[in-house]
Amino acid sequence: MAATRMVDLTWYELTDLVPTDPVVLVPVGTVEQHGPHLPLDTDNAIAESFAGAAAEAAPPGAALVAPCVPFGLSEHLSDFPGAIFHTTKTLIVTLTEVCTSLARSGLRRILMINGHGSNVAPIDLASREALMREPEALFASVSWWELGRVRDVATRLGPPSPASHACAFETSLMLAISPERVHMDRAVPGEEFPTSPHVWRDTLGRAPSPEHRRPIHLTEFWSSWSDNGVRGDPRGATAELGAAMLAAGADELAEIIDELRKRPILGRRAITGHP
């Protein structure tokens, strides 16, 4: 069954769908460099693919896929040509307005599916802001690499090289999603990213060594340490790994959709004093 895209509906059809209380999946990504071998819209393509696969894995009518929010927090990559980005404030406002717009159409359960690492904090803040404006709705978010089943598959089937940016894992997903746009003949490893016990990055949460601790949050301009824009080694990518990660993510997201549909929306209460 094909995923139901919100933009394919007329407003009559959407009006009829609203009472069934679907979960609206909002892909969020960005446009930025992804090394010499991946297209600029990699994060958008991956977020949209997880959203579409999740809607197909869920029961018919349980999920509705909204248009992708295509520009994210990418200014720290803007020394490489191709970045189209929002400032942090603008991104939070944009995502808040997207979520509240959906809620005002009667769609009460919103799940943003993120494909870009630097979007995590703005998406969380936008969810909170949207709730303040529409307290009788649910606003949630998840990044595809946070899904436990995706991590299990990636760790079990993937290479040991870092999971980060234009890496084997993003490249594997793109090989499964859009292989004609992947240039494996140009795939090269990233330069050595300077790490320390509390400064490292692996989106799957795998520490480089037992001496490494939980990483702090630190953003630097990528041009300060990288010439090719890659962090990790995409040469270990396979379409099979990408397809397995996508299928695992779709299954888990379908479970999340079910949880959100069953979760009661109670709204605010006036607290006037002691019970």
The mean pLDDT value of the chain amounts to: 96
pTM score above 0.95: yes
In a domain, 223, yes or no: yes
Give the list of residues 6+ apart from residue 180 with CB closer than 8 angstroms, or none: none
Tens digits of per-residue pLDDT, 174-200?
999 999 999 999 999 999 899 999 999
In a domain, 228, yes or no: yes
Alpha-carbon distances, residue 211 vs 41, 138, 164, 231 (angstroms): 36, 40, 20, 21
Is the pLDDT assigned to residue 1 strictly greater than 90?
A: no
In a domain, 267, yes or no: no
In a domain, 4, yes or no: no
Among 19, 47, 11, which residue's Cα sits nearest to residue 31? Answer: 47
Tens digits of per-residue pLDDT, 2-61?
668 999 999 999 999 999 999 999 999 999 999 999 999 999 999 999 999 999 999 999
Average pLDDT, integer, range 204-222: 95
Work out how many domains the chain is built from and give that number.
1
Whether residue 240 contacts residue 154, with contact meaning beta carbons closer than 8 Å, is answered with no
Tokens of 152: 């299990």
Among 225, 138, 242, which residue's Cα sits nearest to residue 190? Answer: 225
CATH of the domain at 18: 3.40.50.10310
In a domain, 63, yes or no: yes
Q: Which residues pair with 25 in a beta bridge?
A: 65, 111
In a domain, 269, yes or no: no
Helices (H), the chain: 11-17, 42-57, 88-104, 120-133, 148-157, 168-177, 239-262
In a domain, 55, yes or no: yes
Average pLDDT, integer, range 100-120: 98
Tell me how far apart the alpha carbons of residues 114 and 30 are, in angstroms, rounded to a whole number.
10
Apex CA 52: angle with CA 49 and CA 56, to 5°? 135
Q: What is the CA radius of gyration of the chain?
A: 19
| Residue 24, domain extent | 11-210+217-262
Q: Which residues pair with 199 in a beta bridge?
A: 196
In a domain, 6, yes or no: no
Going by pLDDT thresholds of 50, 70 and 90, the confidence category of residue 267 is: confident
Tell me how far apart the alpha carbons of residues 39 and 34 are, in angstroms, rounded to a whole number.
6
> What CA dihedral angle connects 214, 206, 217 and 166, to 10 degrees?
170
Whether residue 81 contacts residue 33, with contact meaning beta carbons closer than 8 Å, is answered with yes
